[in-house]
Structures are given as C-alpha cells and as structure tokens.
C-alpha cells in the first residue's frame, strides 16, 4: 500500500510517494503534481489538499505497477511512465505485487521483471491471473528463453531488456486506445 504526502515547492503543490511498509521516501525521477491526480471532478469541484496531510488516493487514469528488484530500473521506468502522463507504483518483487492486488489496489498495466528475490515474475504473473487480475501484464526479460514462461503464466506481452522510452510509450498508447 502506498501513502501520498502533499507538499509545497516553489508555490506548486506536489505529492511524494511513501511506502508505508518501509516508511521511507521512494527515490523518484520526478514528482506528480497534485492537479494532475486522476479525478472525476472538474477543476471547480476539486478539493484543496492541505500541505502535510496524508491522503490515500485511487487514481482513475493510467496507473502502472513496476515490479523490479533493481532500484535504478524502477526509477527509469517511473520517469518514462510519468513523462507519458501515467501514475507509477513500485514493487520490489512478485510477492509485493500480488499483495498490492490482495489489498485492493488495481492497475491498468504491470511491468514485471522475472529474476527477483522472494517471488519471480513468472510465478507472480500466474498468481495474479489465478486471482482474476485482468490488467495488461508485460514480462520484462533479459533472456529470450524466459518469454515462453511468461506467456504460459498469462502475460500479454514480453519485452527484452533494456526497455526503452519507445517501448513504454507504445504500451501506454495501446492502453489509451482500449
């Protein structure tokens, strides 16, 4: 579960992601502006969020779960996602990803690495599908021979690492068209 803490910087209100499990700020390439948070309300109906107040939000726009044990990869993918207007969430292994869904979180897209501690990506993909998760799951592989495992587990696509901005862009555009 992620918590969001609003703060002001140069008269602009931002949200910092805090992972309550570890109670630490997550390293981000950029921050999400509060005004961009997904809301069904019009600008006139938007509620002001006081600085310092902890809030939990469920976004209605493109929410992407990045599952990778490598912090630099997670940060890079987060930047790509934010540049395309998406809202990234992070998990360090497959078990964390599965637990997010069990806790009621939902995502439009899941970028799933395979080689991770605790639970690998293929096992997590299978467990998510067994739970009835219908989100697009994209397996991220360093080895082409891992593709078949991901696809058998229920992944929609597989991409070879390193992932590029163009790969992320095309996935997001595909989701926007649906």
In the predicted model, what is the mean pLDDT of the chain? 72
Distance of CA 77 to the CA centre of its chain: 9
- DSSP 8-state symbol, 15: E
Average pLDDT of the segment spanning 150-164: 89
Q: Which domain holds residue 135?
A: 2-177
Query: How far apart, in whole angstroms, are the C-alpha atoms of residue 112 and residue 47?
Result: 35
Check residue 178 and give its pLDDT.
63
Number of domains in the chain: 1
Check residue 24 and give its pLDDT.
36
Check residue 30 and give its pLDDT.
34
Question: For position 163, which CATH number holds?
Answer: 3.40.50.2300
The three-state secondary structure class of 10 is coil
Give start and end residues of each alpha helix (H) in the chain: 71-83, 94-102, 121-130, 147-153, 165-177
Average pLDDT of the segment spanning 38-66: 50
**Residue 161: band (very low, low, confident or very high) from pLDDT cuts 50, 70, 90:** confident
Among the residue ranges 73-77, 94-98, 108-112, the one predicted with the least confidence is 73-77
Question: Residue 97 pLDDT > 50, yes or no?
Answer: yes
Average pLDDT of the segment spanning 155-178: 81
> What does each C-alpha distance from 52 to 2, 6, 15, 72 come to in angstroms?
16, 6, 10, 28
pLDDT digits (tens, 9 = 90+) for 107-141: 999 999 999 999 999 999 999 999 999 999 999 98
Q: Which residue has the higher pLDDT, 105 or 174?
A: 105
């Amino acid at each position: 579960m992620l918590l969001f803490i609003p703060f002001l910087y140069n008269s602009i209100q931002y949200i910092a992601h805090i992972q309550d499990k570890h109670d630490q700020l997550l390293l981000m390439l950029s921050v999400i502006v509060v005004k961009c948070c997904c809301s069904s309300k019009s600008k006139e109906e938007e509620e002001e969020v006081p600085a310092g107040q902890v809030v939990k939000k469920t976004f209605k726009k493109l929410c992407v779960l990045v599952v990778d044990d490598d912090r630099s990869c997670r940060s890079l993918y987060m930047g790509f996602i934010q540049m395309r207007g998406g809202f990234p969430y992070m998990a360090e292994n497959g078990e964390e990803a599965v637990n997010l869904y069990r806790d009621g979180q939902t995502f439009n897209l899941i970028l799933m690495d395979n080689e991770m501690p605790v639970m690998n990506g293929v096992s997590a993909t299978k467990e998510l599908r067994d739970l009835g998760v219908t989100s697009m799951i994209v397996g991220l592989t360093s080895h082409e021979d891992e593709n078949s495992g991901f696809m058998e587990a229920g992944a929609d696509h597989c991409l070879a690492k390193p992932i590029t901005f163009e790969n992320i862009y095309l996935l997001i555009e595909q989701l926007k068209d649906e």
